[in-house]
Amino acid sequence: MTAPEGPEALVRRGTVITAIALLGVAGVYVLAWGYTPIEARQGVAQKIFYLHVPSAWSALLAFSLVGIVSALYLWLNDPRLDRFAAASAEVGLAFSAVMLTTGPIWAKPIWGTWWTWDARLTLTLFLFFLFIGYLALRAALQDPGERARFSAVIGILGLLLVPFIHLSVYLFRTLHPQPVVLKPSRPSLPPEMLRTLLISGAVFLVLYVGLVTIRYGLAAAEEAGERGDAA
């Protein structure tokens, strides 16, 4: 049983992209240590910000794509769209897990608490649960057509939930002002910090692309293999 060229080539390409991105992450580490200044109030621990924030962005990107691609799937019925959405969900789960672990690691030394209900952490926590729900549902369904349709429904509904979560957190916080120390440190960033953050964002984007390509390729290879068995 030979696997077709397509999926294998994808996995290879994805691995290359991911390797490049991981080098980029190492680069970001270097930048974070050497290049960026130490933040006055928060000290060295603040530097985890360069991993924490782009992970959150990537998780949100991953989720948005799941939602958009799901809507496209319901319209166009192409199984490749479903495969992409599933790959994006798995990668997004990983990114949100990273964000949710780096968040407390950052928060503890700076704010003295492991968890805060600030907008970014809360939203990412919801994304995490939505990803889990999405993947749990997929795991519980055998028929590929049903699995694709149901996942697409959750994807779309989940995407529309995000603005409501945001709105709820916003309303909650304006009515319950948090102590000043919990404000996310963003208003005016010195140029080195901003540059490093943007570079890190780009690196994480490449990492996302690489990981999704690998996952997509693996899924395609698996399906091709099964089709070979079943025919």
Question: Which residues would be at the binding site for other proteins (CB under 8 A)?
Answer: 74, 126, 129-130, 132-133, 136-137, 140-146, 149-150, 152-154, 156-158, 160-161, 164-165, 167-168, 171-172, 175, 223, 226-227, 230-231
Nearest approach, Cβ of 14 to other proteins (angstroms)? 24
Which of 42, 64 has the CB closer to other proteins?
64
Which of 145, 184 has the CB closer to other proteins?
145
Query: What is the C-alpha to C-alpha distance for residues 75 and 147, in angstroms, rounded to an integer?
Result: 16
Nearest approach, Cβ of 68 to other proteins (angstroms)? 14
Alpha carbon of residue 224 to chain centroid: 27
Query: What is the C-alpha to C-alpha distance for residues 137 and 70, in angstroms, rounded to an integer?
Result: 14
Q: Which amino acid is at 112?
A: G
Which of 105, 157 has the CB closer to other proteins?
157
Give the DSSP letter of residue 203.
Answer: H
Asked if 203 contacts 21 with a C-beta cutoff of 8 angstroms, the reply is yes
Which of 48, 130 has the CB closer to other proteins?
130
Residue 207, CA distances (Å) to 14, 16, 142, 183, 203 in order: 9, 10, 30, 29, 6
Handedness of CA 79, 83, 88, 93 (dihedral sign): positive
Nearest approach, Cβ of 32 to other proteins (angstroms)? 32
Nearest approach, Cβ of 114 to other proteins (angstroms)? 21
Nearest approach, Cβ of 130 to other proteins (angstroms)? 6
Asked if 50 contacts 28 with a C-beta cutoff of 8 angstroms, the reply is yes
Nearest approach, Cβ of 227 to other proteins (angstroms)? 5
Query: Cβ neighbours of residue 152 under 8 Å, at least 6 residues apart?
Result: 70, 71, 73, 74, 82, 85
Asked if 131 contacts 95 with a C-beta cutoff of 8 angstroms, the reply is no
Please list the helix, strand and coil fractions of the chain in percent, rounded to the nearest 5, in that order: 85, 0, 15
Nearest approach, Cβ of 131 to other proteins (angstroms)? 10
Which of 144, 184 has the CB closer to other proteins?
144
Query: What is the C-alpha to C-alpha distance for residues 128 and 216, in angstroms, rounded to an integer?
Result: 20
Which of 180, 230 has the CB closer to other proteins?
230
Which of 5, 143 has the CB closer to other proteins?
143
